[in-house]
Amino acid sequence: METTAEALVSAYLAANLNFKDIPLKRFLDDCEKKILLDCLHETGGRQKNAAAMLGIQPTSLCEKMRKHGIQGRRVKWTEKLRVLPPQE
């Protein structure tokens, strides 16, 4: 787990080189969204399996998907996950 944390710190610092001032919250939200999309892709869009892979409850996954504008429902392997603009 430490190597993952160290890699995230390095990625954040690299992203902020040249004083780009990327807020930490936005950086972490982008990482979380990428992880969710990758897990959903790996499970063929099956939210229950993706939640188990992440070690969270399916309801928590649904909340995170809604937060990041990721549409629910099963997705076939041939289809792509649709990402909606974030709701404020």
Q: What does the pLDDT look like over 35-68, one tens digit per residue? A: 999 999 999 999 999 999 999 999 999 999 999 9
Q: Give whichever of 5-19, 39-53, 63-77 has the largest mean pLDDT.
A: 39-53
Lowest mean pLDDT among 14-18, 50-54, 63-67, 73-77: 73-77
Name the fold adopted by 2-67: Arc Repressor Mutant, subunit A (1.10.10)
pLDDT score recorded for residue 87? 55
> Which residue in 32, 29, 49 sits closest to 40, CA to CA?
49
Question: d(Cα 72, Cα 19) in Å, to the nearest integer?
Answer: 37
pLDDT band at 72 (very low <50, low <70, confident <90, very high): confident
Mean pLDDT for the chain overall:
81
The domain spans of the chain are: 2-67
